[in-house]
Amino acid sequence: MTLLAVERIKLFSTRSPWLCVLLALGLTVGFAGLLSLNAPADYLTVSATQAGYQFGLMVMMVMAALAITTEYRFGTIRATFQAVPNRTAALLAKTVLVTVLAGLIGEIAAFGSWGVATVLQPDVDLALHTEQQWRNVAGVGLVFAFGAVASVGVGLLIRHSAGALSVLLLFPMLVEELVQLIPRVGNDIHDWMPFVNAERFLTGNPADGSAVSDGMSAMPAPPLSPWGSMAYFAAATIAVLVAGLVVANRRDA
Amino acid sequence: MIEAVGLTKHYGRTVAVDNLSFTVKPGRVTGFLGPNGAGKSTTMRMILGLDRPTAGQVLIDGTPYRDLRRPLTTVGALLDAKWVHPNRSARAHLRWLAKSNRLPERRVAEVLDQVGLTKVAGRRAGGFSLGMAQRLGIAAALLGDPKVLLFDEPVNGLDPEGILWIRQFMQGLAAEGRTVLVSSHLLSEMALTAQDLVVIGRGRLIAQSSTAEFVERATENTVRVRSPQLDRLRVLIEQRGHAVREDDGALVVAEATSEQIGEIAGAAGVVLHELSPQRGSLEQAFMQLTGDSVEYRTELGNGLNEIVAGTDQRLVSAGR
């Protein structure tokens, strides 16, 4: 608890986390607002209101990564380890704090987006009837939370803000999509990419995890169920974090 | 009390610290002296458990740093005044440090007051001058009221007022019975601040002794004397068994005091125009002991005395 309080003081005594929180909410909810105003009524579904979650996710991942890389950048990591020689405890406290914060912001962003759409298009039925619709909205917080876990891990491994952010932004947006271009095995690899699985958790069909067709052509069923996909995404992010913790304990601060 | 035993640190093929053993006693300011790159900062980071030694260990009152509970109450350290988030206020910086070791919130105000930063405590630390940043670092070191204090080059880049303040501050801390280890690459500064010295060069221990003893051994006492009857005086002095050397119309007498030479001259009725005791330059002596010189590398194993003996002539000529 003490260490959580320490990390809370550290995180909120600088400005960038506040800006990141505002930006994450503004981008996600703002996008949902624009979409509901411009989309044809029959296109607007519960799933569509969450289309902007990736913007907020990216910003919260940036915040989580900066929470650790700025400590290396300004040397405060040494002050941290000097005050708390148990590095794993200090770094886990930081991870828990940014994870909870990211999860919270994810929920606010998701229900905010859904709420904005409901208010702007009162005639469209956007009520959450099914398990899948609930998961699509309420699950965003979980994805944000584990996105933050991965970010702290990458931040610990790379230590430089620019490098860590490049990896965190380029990996989900480019690498995971581009692997599909590899002949023969590309699609199989794509199936096991972490953020692909996060997306499948949110939008997957409860029966077999395949994307619910919003009028789009049906895809072959993915290897994991929605919750299986979530477990896989969480495990992948935790693996990155553990690697980061091991390296931080071994390296000179 | 700090005890280093066989401390060694390799970075790849570079040996930064090489089998270094020393002790730092409480109640005194101990200077940690060595040229830039001698391994002082690396050693201090190893004392704090930030860098992992390749071999050997450091104990603080018998315990390795990483095993200390609430370490800020045992060891306070200022290694680099810039290790502060520039957009965080001085007070917030101290608040999280205090919280991490379960120190009462009032300690923050107390140490801010102690270093004279109370008025600027709400300002972002990135806007601090070097002197203010240094004071903030000292405040952080004092937060847990520790028995052991480490300072790495605390007077670097400070103005004379700041240097004097830090010097007196460290002496005050030692007078309260604390263990104070302060590193520097300036022997002249340490001669004024420290009672004990641990001297290292290229990561190895060169000497551990009291400052007075080190200065005594590292420099040589000579007397410079000028007189219109120089030749007569020279004979008189040499009869007493002193080594004499001529230097620009004056005599330089080795291993002698001005009293001895004055009495020799007085007894013989020799007129003197100058009689001045000389001390070898501390810096020169220090360079010879720690510098990257041939003598250093070949004679290191023979101990301090021989190194000093081998540099006598240079010391004499360096005397002002």
Torsion A47-A52-A56-A59 (CA) sign: positive
Q: Do B71 and A6 touch (CB under 8 A)?
A: no
Dihedrals phi, psi of B19, to nearest 5 degrees: 50, 55
B50/A82 CB distance under 8 A:
yes
Choice among A99-113, B113-127, B240-254, B276-290 with the minimum mean pLDDT: B276-290
Q: What's the pLDDT score for residue B196? A: 94
Say yes or no for a CB contact (<8 Å) between B95 and A9. yes
- Is B144:B72 a contact under the CB 8 Å cutoff? yes
Query: B9 φ, ψ to 5°?
Result: -140, 120
pLDDT at B318 over 50: no
Identify all chain B residues contacting A76, using CB atoms and an 8 Å cutoff.
83-85
3-state secondary structure B83-100: CCCCCCEHHHHHHHHHHH
Chain A contacts of B102, Cβ < 8 Å? 2
Which residue in A has a C-alpha nearest to residue B144's C-alpha? A83
Nearest by CB to residue A2, choosing from B45, B92, B99, is B99
**Bigger pLDDT: A246 vs B259:** A246
Question: From the candidates B83, B94, B138, which should be mutated to test the interface with A, based on the most A CB atoms within 10 A?
Answer: B83
Q: Which of B174, B144, B170 is nearest to B25 (CA)?
A: B174
Contact state of A74 with B79 under an 8 Å Cβ cutoff? no
* Residue where a domain terminates, one of B181, B209, B237: B209
Q: With the C-alpha atoms ordered A111, A114, A116, A119, is the resulting torsion angle positive or negative? A: negative
Partner residue facing A14 (CB), from B65, B71, B88: B88
Q: Which of A70, A81, A86 sits opposite B50 (nearest CB)?
A: A81
Binned at pLDDT 50, 70 and 90, residue A98 comes out as very high
Kindly state whether residues B254 and B186 are assigned to the same domain: no
Asked if the C-beta of B142 comes within 8 angstroms of chain A's C-beta atoms, the answer is: no
Kind and range of the H or E run holding B215: helix B211-218
Residues B187 and B267 occupy one common structural domain: no
- Compute the count of residue pairs across chains A and B with CB atoms less than 8 Å apart: 79
Residue B34 near residue B210 (C-beta atoms within 8 A): no
Could you tell me if residue B288 is inside a domain? no
Q: Please list every residue in chain B whose beta carbon sits closer than 8 Å to the beta carbon of residue A74.
A: 82-86
Residue contact B100–A83, C-beta within 8 A: yes
Q: How far is CA B5 from CA A55, A145, A173, B147, B290, in A?
A: 54, 46, 52, 20, 21
The answer to whether A220 contacts chain B (CB < 8 Å) is no
In the prediction, which pLDDT does A220 show? 66
Please choose, from the candidates A220, A192, A190, the residue with its C-alpha nearest in 3D space to the C-alpha of residue A205: A220
Q: Mean pLDDT throughout B218-241?
A: 86
B88 and B227: one domain? no
Distance between CA atoms of A24 and A60, rounded to whole angstroms?
Answer: 7
Give yes or no for B54 touching A (CB within 8 A): no
Closest CA to A233 of A187, A190, A198: A198
How many angstroms separate the Cα of B48 from the Cα of each of A186, A232, B74? Answer: 49, 39, 11
Summarize pLDDT for A178-203 with one digit per residue, the tens: 999 999 999 999 999 999 999 999 98
Same domain, B152 and B191: yes
Question: In this structure, what token pair is assigned to residue B273?
Answer: 């125009």
- Dist CA A185 CA B143 (whole Å): 59
Q: Which long-range contacts (CB under 8 A, 24 or more apart) does A119-127 make?
A: A120/A33, A120/A36, A120/A37, A121/A36, A121/A41, A121/A44, A123/A41, A124/A41, A124/A44, A126/A44, A126/A45, A126/A46, A126/A49
**Contacts with B, A 127-166, CB within 8 Å:** none
> Same structural domain for residues B75 and B10?
yes
CB contact under 8 A, A75 and B82: yes
Q: What's the confidence (pLDDT) of residue B26?
A: 94
Q: Is B69 on the interface with A (CB under 8 A)?
A: no
* Band (B299; pLDDT cuts 50, 70, 90): very low
State the Cα angle at A62 between B89 and A36, rounded to 5°.
120
**B89 and B182 housed in the same domain:** yes
| Res. A208 pLDDT band, cuts 50 70 90 | low
Examine the pLDDT at B319 and tell me if it is beyond 70: no
CB A53 within 8 A of CB A214: no
pLDDT tens across B42-87, in order?
999 999 999 999 999 999 999 999 999 999 999 999 999 999 999 9
Give the pLDDT band of residue B281 (cuts 50, 70, 90).
Answer: low
| Token representation of residue B3 | 């005890």
At residue B202, does pLDDT exceed 90?
no
- The dihedrals phi and psi of B102, each to the nearest 5 degrees, come to 50, 45
Which chain A residues in 63-92 lie under 8 Å from chain B, judged by CB atoms?
70, 74-76, 78-86
Tell whether B55 is covered by a domain: yes
Give the whole-angstrom CA distance, residue A39 versus residue B148.
68
DSSP assignments along B179-201, one per residue: EEEEEES-HHHHHHH-SEEEEEE
Give the model's pLDDT for residue B156: 83
Q: What is the pLDDT of residue B280?
A: 66
Q: How far is A87 from chain B (nearest CA, A)?
A: 10
- Please report whether residue B290 resides in a domain: no
Dihedrals phi, psi of B125, to nearest 5 degrees: -65, -25
| Among B49, B72, B83, beta carbon nearest to A75 | B83
- Nearest CB neighbour to A79, from listed B65, B66, B97: B97
Say what the ipTM of the complex is: 0.87
Give the CATH number for residue B259: 3.30.70.980
Q: Supply the pLDDT for residue A223.
A: 87
Q: Which residues of A touch B88 (CB under 8 A)?
A: 10, 13-14
Q: Which residues in chain A have their CB less than 8 angstroms from residue B100's CB? A: 2-3, 6, 80, 83-84
Model confidence at B304: pLDDT above 70? no
Kindly state whether residue B317 falls inside one of the protein's structural domains.
Answer: no
Q: Which residue, B279, B294, B309, sits at the end of a domain?
A: B279
- The pLDDT, as a whole number, for residue B293 is 37
Q: Please give the Cα distance from A46 to A117 (Å, whole number).
A: 9
CA distance B279 to chain A (A): 42
Confidence (pLDDT) at A211? 58
Q: What are phi and psi of B39, to 5 degrees?
A: 110, 15
Percent of chain A's residues with pLDDT above 90: 81
Verify that B165 and B246 share a domain, yes or no. Answer: no
- More reliable by pLDDT, B148 or A123: B148
Q: Are residues B187 and B226 in the same domain?
A: no
Q: Side chain identity at A184, as an amino acid letter?
A: R
User: A-contacting residues of B 181-240, CB under 8 Å?
Assistant: none
Q: Is pLDDT larger for residue A253 or for residue A155? A: A155
Q: Round the average pLDDT of chain B to a whole number and report it.
A: 86
Chain A residues whose CB is inside 8 A of the B85 CB are: 10, 13-14, 70, 74, 76
Least confident of A68-77, B147-156, B192-201, B235-244: B235-244
Q: What is the pLDDT of residues A218-249, one digit of tens each?
A: 456 788 999 999 999 999 999 999 999 999 99
Residues B142 and B268 in one domain: no
In a domain, B118, yes or no: yes
- Give the domain-ending residue among B155, B174, B209: B209
Closest residue, chain B, to A10 (C-alpha): B96
Q: How confident is the model at residue B141 (pLDDT cuts 50, 70, 90)?
A: very high
Mean pLDDT of A166-174: 93
Domain around B240: 221-279
CA distances from A49 to A112, A127, A130, A187, B267 (A): 10, 12, 15, 28, 109
Q: Name every chain A residue with its beta carbon within 8 A of the beta carbon of B139.
A: none
The predicted model gives B22-42 an average pLDDT of 92
Q: What is the mean pLDDT of residues A33-53?
A: 89
* Angstrom distance (rounded) from CA A207 to CA A78: 50
Question: B222, B278 in Cβ contact below 8 A?
Answer: yes
Q: Are residues B89 and B129 in the same domain?
A: yes
Query: Smallest Cα–Cα separation from A236: which of A187, A176, A179, A183?
Result: A176
- Tell me, what's the pLDDT at A207? 61
The pLDDT of residue A14 is 92
In a domain, residue B138? The reply is: yes
Tell me the average pLDDT across A138-143: 96
Q: Which residue of A has its CA nearest to B72?
A: A83
Cβ distance of A85 and B89 shorter than 8 Å: no
In the predicted model, is pLDDT for residue B315 greater than 50?
Answer: no
Range B257-268 average pLDDT: 89
Query: Which helix (H) or strand (E) element contains residue B9?
Result: strand B2-11
Band (pLDDT 50/70/90 cuts) for residue B119 is very high
Q: How confident is the model at residue B185 (pLDDT cuts 50, 70, 90)?
A: confident
Quick one: B169 and B110 in the same domain? yes
Once rounded to an integer, what is the mean pLDDT over residues B160-181?
92
Same domain, yes or no, for B191 and B246? no
Q: How many domains does chain B have?
A: 2
Per-residue pLDDT at B290: 65
